[in-house]
Chains A and B, each alone.
Chain A
């Protein structure tokens, strides 16, 4: 079973800054089927990135994903106030479809 480790646990930044979130897998993710989600309090998660680097429908281009194999990164180029939330990575290449433990992006 793949384990996904996200870092950092909490990231404190200001609007306009660049955010870099990491997701490391304990073994290679099948076909790079790695997704990123954003979740705000009281809401369902929202898909941001699939296939490690493809933006989901309607996602602004300030969000980008990169990486392959075991190391993946979500980058938010310039933070907007609405971007402060919790971010999860997930591998969906093979069951169990594990999520990382999350990175909380908070306003500095």
Chain B
């Protein structure tokens, strides 16, 4: 069974940093592009970042470019989103999602709250 499990969310002050992780199982992690998608409370889905299978292609939404860094360790089946200079508008549930014919598998999300 394909599984993605996010962790690392929590409460952080504006300007602070947080590191999100996505642990995967049930598929060959190194073969797939993985994405981060977020959803602010009561709002729609916003794509955040993408990293290709071998880390050659990395993309970010303009809203996080220069502040967030996506990386992966294929040997450990793990994905990381390093979030720096956090703002109140970064408050959201963050999902990791596998890219295969769309985004076919999603984790349950981890909540990030940026507040003083």
Contact = CB atoms under 8 A, between A and B. Distances in A.
Interface string A83-108: 00000101010011111111000000
Interface residues of A, number: 26
Interface in A42-101: 43-47, 49-51, 54, 56-57, 88, 90, 92, 95-101
Interface stretch (B14-22, B66-74, B78-86, B96-104): B96-104
B50 A56 contact: no
A37 to B, nearest CB: 8
Contacts of B103: 35, 37, 45, 47, 90, 92
Contacts of A97: 35, 47, 50
19 contacts: A33-B102, A37-B45, A37-B103, A44-B95, A44-B106, A44-B108, A45-B103, A46-B106, A47-B103, A51-B101, A56-B104, A88-B44, A92-B103, A96-B59, A96-B62, A97-B35, A97-B50, A98-B47, A99-B46
Contacts, number: 64
Given A44-B95, A44-B107, A96-B62, A54 B101 contact: yes
